[in-house]
Every structure is written in structure tokens, then in C-alpha cells.
Chain A
């Protein structure tokens, strides 16, 4: 077992992990972080997407030991401080951009990263940004609308 220290959603967390433990498993099983989800075993679905040291990654393709000393943000960090929905989350709600909710945390992380990137939020660019996140419920149409609406509302 290896000891790791990672700031997760703003809180310093210490864990003892096997070398083989994936970051997603540590976040979920040891920290009860429910944002990252597991939807595949080939890195395709993006349900486990988090930000690690400011970079968008799939936490099923990172070892927990690799994150030692770093900072991880999961979807649990997205809400406003008072617990209300942030702008993007609210747009997801307003545009019915989620159904079962299983892909949602990953979608929100990717969309957040995309919106912060400064890239133009066109239909095509939005769809391209979401390429690494699979949703089996919504058909993506409303997710794209929600993200574009969030971009328009950003002052």
C-alpha cells in the first residue's frame, strides 16, 4: 500500500492505496465521491471525468498513486457555495439535459472545461468537446443546448 495525499474538492485527503488502484476507485470507494462514475472499461464513456491539476481527465485512466500531491476536482465541487446550482447546472436543468443522471457529472466536468477554454461555443465545437462523454438517455441534443445557453448567459 502507498500513502497518497491529494486535495479533492478543496479538502486535503489522505489515503492508502494499492499501486494498481485507479483514481476513480479511490475517489468513489474511499471518499464516497459520487461524481465520477464507471460506465465502461475502455476509457470511452467519460462518466468518470474529473479535473486533475486543472486538466480534464478520465479518472479511470489514471492511477490513484499518480495523483499523489495533486489536486482533483469532481462534479461535487461545481455547485455554488450555498449549495445552489451553478449557471451550467441550472442550464442543464432548464434544458432537460439529463435523464438518468449517470453521465451527468462527467458531462458537467467536460462542459465546464470547454466553457473555460475560451473556444467559441458553436454547435460543432460543443459536439466535438463532448466526444469523450457518452450519454445513452438524452441523445445529446439538450446537452448541447444547455451548454450553449450557459455560454450565452456568461457575462
Chain B
């Protein structure tokens, strides 16, 4: 008997498109989102925010607010400085002296929209009126909104005490790019490319409810927390409060996409008010507020980009200088400065890569992780350079990619920096994607429409979705950070009635974890899918969680499911122990099927799980003492991802466990008179290893695709020269609607991961492939008369491209 037989008697649900357990409550308007939860005696928090990008606060007058009927109290920056510790900074010196708090610190506001005062009142209306009555006087300070200006010697300083606007500065140098550039047949040089600022903007904005129970000196936080244990840790430090007297809960929440990793910041202010005023506090972010500070994706400038290419089409490598605009506070940054190296090679067999990477403060909203976090920026650049090289050197864009892709027989493939790509079949994925858009037909259409005022462009986007971080990569950023590897926890128990209860360490906001967990657990325990109850959301006080618990970085299918498998194995051992003692056999002879534990060789000898539970919960005297003492039918386990510490000097080592691949292909039609881009066909091929629920996977792919399409064509968190956000709501920030999009073509390839328990890979982020594909499609439509050097291509820019924009910034040196 192998352990596989023990744990997986029959696969009935895993791998199938099982209907989601979450759906009924959501379809019947019975979900419980952050602002839904009724709380007795609830009060409301509204932030007074800075209208300036950079200013010194000269005075704060709350006297008019105090006169508002329903006003309860407020929180001022001075009070926050007395009562809280600054949030933990990840960066080392000199930028580690940055001070970040829930209200503007040091008497200075550093971005437009930064909270200055938190006002509490007994109704939403009173909170609004009181906040509107607060008068804050400012003395404007010089500000900087462009990372390229921020690194100039005379630039205004976002954090004066640091002495520069550089939060992080690192040189990554793998292979020998200088030699490659000297000796390659061809060298392409591009002056500058720009990856723009946007965000996945979850439809539910930030919301948190804080209740303080003075009797036990405990805060309970309810809201969207994507990393509940890290949030608990951050809140404990900031509030100077023991972590064991903080409880962080999530119920249903309306999307995160990485953005809700920082809910602890407004939660800190709400907690201080809850304790001070003795009432539960709720902060509900408005859309406009969310756009100001809910978390933008990283904006990045790539400068002095050089790529070395052989005459046979082999790409040797590239070098560039990156300026990553992190906004006014680092928060999760500058982790982005190492996270991108998970995909250093992108999809290609690069041998040489040299990047100087700097994280730069500007007087803009702080960036937060955002779907495809930091990797999509680098992969867009590599994919763009591949595309530019193909166009400028005359290679067929399909053949050029196929030649340079990591090939199926090369897995596991070690990248220039020691990351190990686990599995994949990029050439097959690309062929399938091209079939879905009818590539030859699209090329025909392109020829037919030439000269009609419409141009057809065909684009390919190759990307990776690296999942399950090795958090030791944080030490590449700052050797003193005590992080390494990755863990997730899970709890499975057999209730008194024989029902199965599963609690994940993670938390879901649309990914269907209740569903996928139930599929796997039901199969392992041989029970019906409906028999497994999976806890909604998350609760930091349940022991399911570990330090890294949460849903981020494309990992649940690996870490969450593996932890659940480990816990379920423990439960099976306990069930087998009980059943064997009742059925008078050895535990190893027990198998689980049809809701019962039975003797494998004599299935008639069976004990229903309800009976197993009944004995343990209600009649342990029926068990031998050594079994009764051993068995609780509560199994908790942790999955530890198999990682080692990287070599910090060489910045070399495996940083991620799995690499899902996505190949996208699209056909666009460009109006030559307006520059308007219309999507005619769009297809994506996903390979995330062994699927747990293919329906859920396809849904994630669709969602990530639309985030990318919308970002490439519509969404831009542009700031004006005064540091004011120009796209402050959904009117000016156009999130794609159904009408903006075509139906999708979808296919999949299954390359099981050799490194994960069931061969699955994390895949929710998607790697930004539509940005790559649309840039390439627009380039294809335009030819080489203009060069696509920006990730955001609204009609005006496309029209300029048709007229030669940026052509001079690309040079074929050889």
C-alpha cells in the first residue's frame, strides 16, 4: 500500500469543474462583506485628507467639527505619534529612517489624499459633516511627481531625513552582459520605456470595523485582510498591543488583487478611536479615496536598455537601469525590487542579465502590490524588447519567440539567478493561442485591410505567473530581515455529527477556496462534496494560520491545498486508528470511501464516519485508552515549501516554487485617423499544472486578462504637475465594461509541477500578459515607423505612434 492509496482513495471531485460553494449565498444577496456586517452602537470614521502633494501642516482646528451633532471625537497626528510605533520598514539604511504612520507623520503630508485627521461620529452623515468642518492649514512644500526628476541632485526630498529620494538601490548582474554586448552580432538599444501606474481597483473599496473589548483589552478587526497574520503583526507593533489580544477577521470581501495587503494602516486609526471613544468604529472607503491611496501598482521607468542578439535569432541577454516609482511611502516596498527577479529570464533562455534597480520616492500615492506585482513590469520590458528586436532585425515574431523560449525538455530550468522554472510547454501554448485567433486568417485580414484606413495588428504576450514565494528573497533586500521559505496552515476536523470542517490559513476574495478545498478534502476522506464545510474568510484566532498565511502571490493551490492535504492525512490517521480498533484490524488496513472507514479487503466491515465521530466525541470509553488519548479528530498541519536560503552575495537561488505560464494572442484593429484600438480577437492559453477546478482557473484567467486589457488601453493613474491625481474616480478612470471586450478564446496545457504535492501551480495573478500582447499588437499594426515604448496606449498615443513617435529612441547599434 502506498501513501497515495491511503490519502486518495478515489478522485471524484478534484480536477472537475465543481460548482462553487460560495455561490449560493452571493447569488442570493446573503454574503457578508465589510460594510454589510450589522454592529450594535456602531460609529463611523472619516479621514480628512491633504489636498496638497507635499506640505507642512501649520494648524489643525477641529472646533467646528465638535459642534456637529453626532460628533464623537477625532484623532490627530500628534496623538498618533504618541500612541503608535511607526510601521515596520523593510528597507535597510539609509531609507530605513522613513517614518510611516496612519496619519501624516512629522507634521508633513507627502501625497495628495494622505490622511491628516480621523474623525468619528455616530452616523455616516455626522462623520462626513464633522470631517468637512475640520480646518487644516498647510504651507506647501516643493514636490516631485516624476521618478526621473526625483533622482536629480536638486530634487525636493519626500522624506528629508533620508537625504535622497532613493529607497532602495541594487545592482543585479548575472552572466556577463558586457561581454555579450561587445560580441553579439546585433545590439539593440532603447533610451527609455515606461510602465504606467494603474491598479486592479477591487469593486469593494477598503473597509474595516474595529471593536475594542476593554474587559479583555482585545481589539477585533473585521474587514478585507489579504494577509491576516502579517496584519496582526503590523497592528501589534503599531498599536504597541500584544498580538494575542488582536483578532483579525475577514468574511466575504470584494476583491483584493494584492491591494488589500495594507488594510492595517487605516485599521490602526480606527482602533485608536474605538479604544478612546469606547465604541465600535467602521471606516468605509469611498471610490475617490481608494483611487487616491488605496494602492497603485508600481510605475517603472526602464532606461538605457540594451539587448544582445545573435544573427540566428538567439537572444543572449539584456541590461537596463530601472527607476521604480513607489510613491510617498514604501509600505510593502521595496520588496518589488527583488520580487521581479523571480522571473529574471521571463519566458526565455537568457544567459546574461544586468539590472540596476532603484526604488524612488515621489509625492504620489504609495504603491501596493497589485496583480502581477513587480514581475509583470520586468516581463513587459523583456517581451517588449523581444518584439522590438524581431521588428528591427527582421525576425518573424512567432519564430523568434519559439526559438528563445525555454523548451519543454529543459525543465526544470535554472535561470540566470538560480530560480528553477518547474515545468511548462511554451511552444505548444503559443501554437494553441495562435490557433484560437486564427493566426493565418488574421495575417490575411491584415493584408486585405492595408490602405483602407484601418490597420490590423497581431500581438503575442508571453508571461509567467510565479507563485509560492521564498520569502528569503526579502534578505536580498535587507540581510537582516528574519524571513525565509514559506508556510501555510490548515485545520481539518470531524465534528461530533460526522461532518467535516476545514479551515484554511488563507482567505479568499473570489478565488473559490471553499470550493477547491472541499474538492480535495472530500476526495481524501471519501465523503460527498457537500459533506465538507469550509470556513468562510479567515480568523486569526483560529490556529489554522501561519505567519505567511493569506492570499497573495499566486500560491493557494500550492500552499493552501498542500497544508490542507497534510492536515487531512493526519485526520485520516486518527480515523483509521479509531476504526481499526472498532473493526478489529490494523490501521493500515482501513480505507475511507462512501462516507465510511472500512476494511480494504472486506468492505462490508465498515464504520460510518458519523460513528467514528460519535465514539470519539460521545463515547470514548468504547476505545482502548491509548487510542482515545491519541485521537481528537482535530488535525492541524503546516505546509513548508521546500526552499533554501539564496546566496546573498551573488543574489542567486530559487525564489519561487512554481511557474504557471500564460501565452496570450490578440488581433486589434486601429483606426488610422483617431488612433482608436478595437479588440477583434483575444485568446489565452494557461498552463498551471494539474488543475483542481478548471472552471475556477478559467475564471481567474479571464479576470486577469481584463485587468491587463483595461490597463493597456484605458486605465492610468496619471498625476498632473501639481501632484494631483487626474483619474480620481471611475468616471475618469475607465475600468473596462462588458462592451469594451470581445468574447475570449481559451485553452489550456497541463504541465504538472514536479515540486508540489498534486502538481498544481498558483495562477491567480496572470503576469500581465495582455499588456505585453497589446503593446505587441499595436507595434505590429504600426510597423517600425513608431515604436511602442509605453505600456499605456490610449488613442492619442497610438495616433502619435502612427506618426513616428519614439522611433528615434530605438537604435540598432549593430
Contact = CB atoms under 8 A, between A and B. Distances in A.
A34 B29 contact: yes
B706 interface: yes
Interface residues on chain A, size class = 35 or more
B79 interface: no
- The winner among B17, B284, B706 for most chain A CB atoms within 10 A is B706
A139 B204 contact: no
B719 to A, nearest CB: 19
Contacts of B19: 93-94
B200 A139 contact: no
Contact of B200 (A130, A136, A141): A136
Contacts of A33: 29
B215 to A, nearest CB: 28
A28 B36 contact: yes
B5 interface: no
Contacts of A47: 203
B32 A34 contact: yes
A102 B33 contact: yes
Interface in B695-746: 695-696, 698-700, 702-703, 705-707, 729-731, 735, 737-739, 741, 743-744
A96 B17 CA distance: 10
Nearest to B286: A41
A44 B727 CA distance: 14
A101 B739 CA distance: 20
Contact of A93 (B27, B29, B743): B27
B779 interface: no
Interface in B17-70: 17, 19-20, 22-33, 35-36, 38
B737 to A, nearest CB: 5
Contact of B26 (A45, A101, A132): A101
Interface stretch (B131-139, B509-517, B584-592): B509-517
B730 A45 contact: yes
Given A34-B30, A40-B287, A138 B729 contact: no
A126 B253 CA distance: 27
B510 A40 contact: no
A103 interface: yes
Interface in A34-52: 34-35, 37-42, 44-45, 47
A4 to B, nearest CB: 16
A100 B509 contact: yes
B669 interface: no
A137 B32 CA distance: 18
A134 B253 contact: no
A131 B255 contact: no
Contact of B738 (A21, A102, A127): A127
A108 interface: yes
A79 interface: yes
Contact of B23 (A93, A126, A136): A93
Given A98-B26, A98-B27, A100-B254, A37 B703 contact: no
Contacts of A138: 699, 702-703, 706
B748 to A, nearest CB: 15
- The winner among A37, A108, A132 for most chain B CB atoms within 10 A is A37
B739 A131 contact: yes
A104 B735 CA distance: 17
Contacts of B124: 25, 29
A94 B18 CA distance: 9
A75 B695 CA distance: 25
A105 interface: yes
B691 to A, nearest CB: 13
A41 B290 CA distance: 11
Interface in A7-45: 18, 20-21, 25, 28-29, 32-35, 37-42, 44-45
Given A138-B702, A141-B744, A144-B743, A39 B205 contact: yes
A138 B707 CA distance: 10
A144 B267 CA distance: 37
Interface string A75-106: 11011000101000100111010111111110
Interface in A130-155: 130-144
Contact of A89 (B27, B729, B738, B744): B27
Contacts of A102: 33, 202-204, 253-255
A137 B27 CA distance: 15
B720 to A, nearest CB: 19
Interface residues of B, number: 59
A139 B25 CA distance: 21
Interface string B226-269: 00000000000000000000000000111101000000000000
A37 B113 CA distance: 24
A3 interface: no
Nearest to B707: A136
A44 B707 CA distance: 17
Interface in B397-452: none
B255 A139 contact: no
A94 B19 CA distance: 7
B125 interface: yes
A137 to B, nearest CB: 5
Contacts of A136: 200-203, 255, 257, 703, 707, 735
Contacts of B543: none
Contact of A32 (B17, B38, B509, B738): B38
A92 B699 contact: no
B288 interface: yes
B287 A78 contact: no
A3 B703 CA distance: 43
A28 B35 contact: yes
A59 interface: no
Contacts of B702: 138-142
Nearest to A144: B738
Nearest to A74: B29
A131 B509 contact: no
B375 to A, nearest CB: 20
Contact of B203 (A39, A108, A131): A39
Nearest to B124: A25
Nearest to B731: A42
Contact of B699 (A79, A103, A142): A142
Interface string B146-182: 0000000000000000000000000000000000000
Given A123-B743, A137-B699, A139-B705, 13 more contacts: A21-B125, A32-B36, A33-B29, A34-B31, A34-B36, A39-B204, A99-B700, A100-B510, A101-B25, A135-B203, A135-B738, A139-B744, A140-B737
9 contacts: A39-B205, A44-B735, A47-B203, A93-B27, A96-B698, A102-B254, A126-B738, A133-B737, A144-B738
Going nearest first, the 6 A-B pairs with the smallest beta carbon separation are A102-B254, A101-B26, A99-B510, A100-B510, A139-B702, A139-B706
Interface of B: 17, 19-20, 22-33, 35-36, 38, 124-125, 200-205, 252-255, 257, 284, 286-288, 509-512, 695-696, 698-700, 702-703, 705-707, 729-731, 735, 737-739, 741, 743-744
Interface of A: 18, 20-21, 25, 28-29, 32-35, 37-42, 44-45, 47, 74-76, 78-79, 83, 85, 89, 92-94, 96, 98-105, 108, 123, 126-128, 130-144
